[in-house]
A and B are shown apart, each in its own frame.
Chain A
């Protein structure tokens, strides 16, 4: 009851005209920033920082929150329309979103993305009101061994993504893990594979690899027939909405992915990228027609979209309850809180209830505004597809380079971008799947470091990886997700052999 009265107070704060304006502006800017490759919510919030100085802390937090989940709405637009994810959390939207576009179903893809984002965001906000503190406490049970098992589980998704060409998928995964080892190794302080290049000491940002492989790879691929014209150009556009059949197929994946995203988001260091990839893999395994995944299955888009939005809400939990940044974006938000004279930490809820509950209430309001704003916006954006490739692709290239530069303002990233773009092109020419490589680049470093942290803590006793119920559950899930697609493949072979 006490919570509800706090929440009501929060709504009083969130619904003041000024704060409504801020959340709308924040959400709109976030959507735009999220659409641009490389510019994710962290950059968006950082760019807004100077602006927030002149606001009060509540308005500042509400605006930054709006940018954060606005970017989650916007992030997948470019994934769906031009196969160029705006940030890590939008990678999974390319898997089925872009194939849907290629099949002329961009309108449904954009609609389901907005709807799933909305449901994921609202669901996670309700969870936050109800169970923020217990979730934060539970997340603390994740030590290095548990994180290792979590990352291992995420990586096991590659097994189901490589059906058909397992050896090639395996090689791609290894390649990704190799890329992930570049940089200073925290546990020894030694530089690995940096070839004396200073910029490589912080490692290769997975966003560079993603932008390169998807955006540049796509451009290189279509380079050959760029002049022959309007093959892919869509002229007629339908309404941005879902058919009954599509809705039926999406609703359960959306509802299942929201709690998953919420929880993974609440784990410091895991975040929206992991959440969306895990939910994608989940749905593929649960689906009755997994063969449609990667070919434009609407479930494969609905699930990660719901998960990443829920994760952006979950990531606020460690920040608000413990003063620990759960993601890159919340780290910037925490910096902003300090600049505004607030001390994030467990006392924040007690000392500044109006600010915290105002923020939470604004998440409800903001998600509604964003959903309403995004559907007409999508109707406008979908017309990008009517731009002929010879105009569109140079723009995509430009955006890719600007986006890559925005990640760490380093010219070195341009070279990496071209290098990995070529790699992506040759991989697709030789039928090596890019997705397992991307996934390995994303989880590789975290997985390795978690393993070695755990190993150091246990003085080299491997038992630590099986020492807690969380570890055991995650390990069983990993085994299942590797064995299940294998077994299914074998059964099918047998069946066809009998027939």
Chain B
């Protein structure tokens, strides 16, 4: 009988322990209106799974803020993944006015609304600052016949079905759209006939193995394989050369006569109707953070380009990007 009690006790302990683990950062403390801010824990949220781009960005931000002492209160990070970030976006609508929640978003914030995944968009969060930019890169296997972006686009112009393009997101989302923008600028009209194959996690192994002709992805996703020469980058989508070493040798699309750029910006956002004092605090803090050597180091390791924009400029930028994406989605009949 004694055994029974001990065991139910231990099991209950485990139960309570796991609840503690999973409930981490779930507390919703409301602001008390005093000027003392920040107070208590922040609630940092990655709207995607652990190990993804958003996760990496917000964890890096939290780490730099802590290492540099810019923010002294705890900043535990949790993940709230689902539907390309839309699940978190919806749950944010129930946290209107919160000064605790700090989250990260990038291009999908706009795309998911345009392609109908969610009713909410960039107007339903509070932009605090744009931090970094990653750029699209179009990579082929080292033994691919395509040497330049125009080789590939010419092949498409001759036979729209001859080039199979892969990406890590579904049709109508970022990996797809970023390539279509280039194809359109190069004069290809039947954009909806281009074969785009969606892979769940990464199409890196597929392009290495020669199963698809080209992989449309973000530069930071394939840095290692570009550096080692296993993958050849046909072009990147910035308006300038980025990075160092092998990466700096990748020509931009603009240089190859394709007059288009694509920026996968990543920025920090608060909940909708975030109080004024919190917005001020974060605009100031993030402006300081991007100047620290710790942040610059993190950018170099991750292949991020500095794209700092303060909240008002970020707002203007988001509205512009929204119009650009709308045009492309209309062309392929998804808007």
A residues near B (Cβ < 8 Å) are 32, 36, 39, 42, 45-47, 49-50, 53, 139-144, 184-189, 191, 198-199, 201-202, 268-269, 318, 322-325, 328, 331-336, 338-339, 341-348, 383-384, 386-388, 391-392, 395, 398-399, 402-403, 405-406, 408-410, 446, 449, 453, 456-457, 459
User: Do the beta carbons of A325 and B79 come within 8 Å of each other?
Assistant: no
Asked if B280 CB lies within 8 Å of chain A CBs, one says: no
User: Do the beta carbons of B297 and A341 come within 8 Å of each other?
Assistant: yes
5 A-B pairs within 8 Å (CB atoms) are namely: A189-B172, A201-B83, A201-B86, A343-B223, A384-B11
User: Do the beta carbons of A268 and B7 come within 8 Å of each other?
Assistant: no
Q: When chains A and B are docked, how far (Å) is the Cα of A268 from the Cα of B206?
A: 10
Contact of A406 among B21, B169, B170, B200 (CB under 8 A): B21
User: Do the beta carbons of B228 and A347 come within 8 Å of each other?
Assistant: yes
**Among the interface residues A328, A388, A398, which one has the most CB atoms of the partner chain B within 10 A?**
A398
Chain A positions within 8 Å of B15 at CB level: 395, 398-399, 402
Given A46-B50, A142-B209, A186-B198, residue A347 in contact with residue B81 (CB < 8 A): no
| Count of interface residues, chain B, beta-carbon cutoff 8 Å | 69
Chain B positions within 8 Å of A49 at CB level: 50, 59, 77
Chain B positions within 8 Å of A399 at CB level: 11, 14-15, 18
User: Do the beta carbons of B334 and A189 come within 8 Å of each other?
Assistant: yes
User: Do the beta carbons of A201 and B82 come within 8 Å of each other?
Assistant: yes
Chain A positions within 8 Å of B302 at CB level: 338
What residue of chain A has the Cβ atom nearest to residue B167's Cβ? A186
Q: When chains A and B are docked, how far (Å) is the Cα of A42 from the Cα of B50?
A: 8
Asked if B205 CB lies within 8 Å of chain A CBs, one says: yes
Q: When chains A and B are docked, how far (Å) is the Cα of A53 from the Cα of B65?
A: 13
What residue of chain A has the Cβ atom nearest to residue B118's Cβ? A198
With both chains docked as a complex, state the minimum distance between the C-beta of A367 and any C-beta of chain B, in angstroms. 24
User: Do the beta carbons of B334 and A395 come within 8 Å of each other?
Assistant: no
Q: When chains A and B are docked, how far (Å) is the Cα of A45 from the Cα of B79?
A: 13
User: Do the beta carbons of A408 and B82 come within 8 Å of each other?
Assistant: yes
User: Do the beta carbons of B115 and A323 come within 8 Å of each other?
Assistant: no
With both chains docked as a complex, state the minimum distance between the C-beta of B228 and any C-beta of chain A, in angstroms. 4
Contacts A345-B227, A399-B18 known; 4 new A-B pairs at CB < 8 A? A36-B18, A140-B209, A201-B84, A446-B200
User: Do the beta carbons of B208 and A198 come within 8 Å of each other?
Assistant: no
Asked if B157 CB lies within 8 Å of chain A CBs, one says: no
User: Do the beta carbons of A345 and B223 come within 8 Å of each other?
Assistant: yes
Chain B positions within 8 Å of A406 at CB level: 18, 21-22
Given A324-B204, A457-B211, residue A331 in contact with residue B51 (CB < 8 A): yes
User: Do the beta carbons of B4 and A391 come within 8 Å of each other?
Assistant: yes
Q: When chains A and B are docked, how far (Å) is the Cα of A449 from the Cα of B8?
A: 44
Contact of B301 among A334, A336, A343, A392 (CB under 8 A): A343
With both chains docked as a complex, state the minimum distance between the C-beta of A63 and any C-beta of chain B, in angstroms. 16
Closest 3 CB pairs of A and B: A345-B224, A143-B211, A186-B198
With both chains docked as a complex, state the minimum distance between the C-beta of B29 and any C-beta of chain A, in angstroms. 18
Chain B positions within 8 Å of A141 at CB level: 209
User: Do the beta carbons of B200 and A339 come within 8 Å of each other?
Assistant: no
Q: When chains A and B are docked, how far (Å) is the Cα of A165 from the Cα of B118?
A: 44
Q: When chains A and B are docked, how far (Å) is the Cα of A395 from the Cα of B212?
A: 49
Chain B positions within 8 Å of A185 at CB level: 170
Chain B positions within 8 Å of A453 at CB level: 197-199
Asked if B12 CB lies within 8 Å of chain A CBs, one says: yes
User: Do the beta carbons of A386 and B202 come within 8 Å of each other?
Assistant: no
Q: When chains A and B are docked, how far (Å) is the Cα of A342 from the Cα of B297?
A: 12
Q: When chains A and B are docked, how far (Å) is the Cα of A198 from the Cα of B124?
A: 16
Q: When chains A and B are docked, how far (Å) is the Cα of A142 from the Cα of B170?
A: 21
With both chains docked as a complex, state the minimum distance between the C-beta of A110 and any C-beta of chain B, in angstroms. 16
With both chains docked as a complex, state the minimum distance between the C-beta of B34 and any C-beta of chain A, in angstroms. 29
Asked if B273 CB lies within 8 Å of chain A CBs, one says: no
Q: When chains A and B are docked, how far (Å) is the Cα of A343 from the Cα of B4?
A: 50
Q: Mark B283-316, 1 if CB is under 8 A from A, else 0.
A: 0000000000000011001100000000000000
What residue of chain A has the Cβ atom nearest to residue B112's Cβ? A201
**Among the interface residues B79, B82, B208, B334, which one has the most CB atoms of the partner chain A within 10 A?**
B82
Q: When chains A and B are docked, how far (Å) is the Cα of A406 from the Cα of B208?
A: 34
Chain B positions within 8 Å of A398 at CB level: 15
**Among the interface residues A184, A185, A189, A191, which one has the most CB atoms of the partner chain B within 10 A?**
A189
Asked if B266 CB lies within 8 Å of chain A CBs, one says: no
User: Do the beta carbons of B90 and A198 come within 8 Å of each other?
Assistant: yes
Chain B positions within 8 Å of A268 at CB level: 201-202, 205
Q: When chains A and B are docked, how far (Å) is the Cα of A323 from the Cα of B172?
A: 26
Given A331-B201, A338-B56, residue A346 in contact with residue B230 (CB < 8 A): yes
Q: Mark B31-59, 1 if CB is under 8 A from A, else 0.
A: 00000000000000000011110011001
User: Do the beta carbons of A339 and B63 come within 8 Å of each other?
Assistant: yes
User: Do the beta carbons of B201 and A343 come within 8 Å of each other?
Assistant: no
Given A332-B51, A395-B11, residue A409 in contact with residue B78 (CB < 8 A): yes
With both chains docked as a complex, state the minimum distance between the C-beta of A128 and any C-beta of chain B, in angstroms. 18
User: Do the beta carbons of A405 and B22 come within 8 Å of each other?
Assistant: yes
With both chains docked as a complex, state the minimum distance between the C-beta of B98 and any C-beta of chain A, in angstroms. 17
Contact of A187 among B4, B55, B198, B230 (CB under 8 A): B198
Chain B positions within 8 Å of A46 at CB level: 50-51, 79
User: Do the beta carbons of B201 and A199 come within 8 Å of each other?
Assistant: no
Chain A positions within 8 Å of B49 at CB level: 328, 331
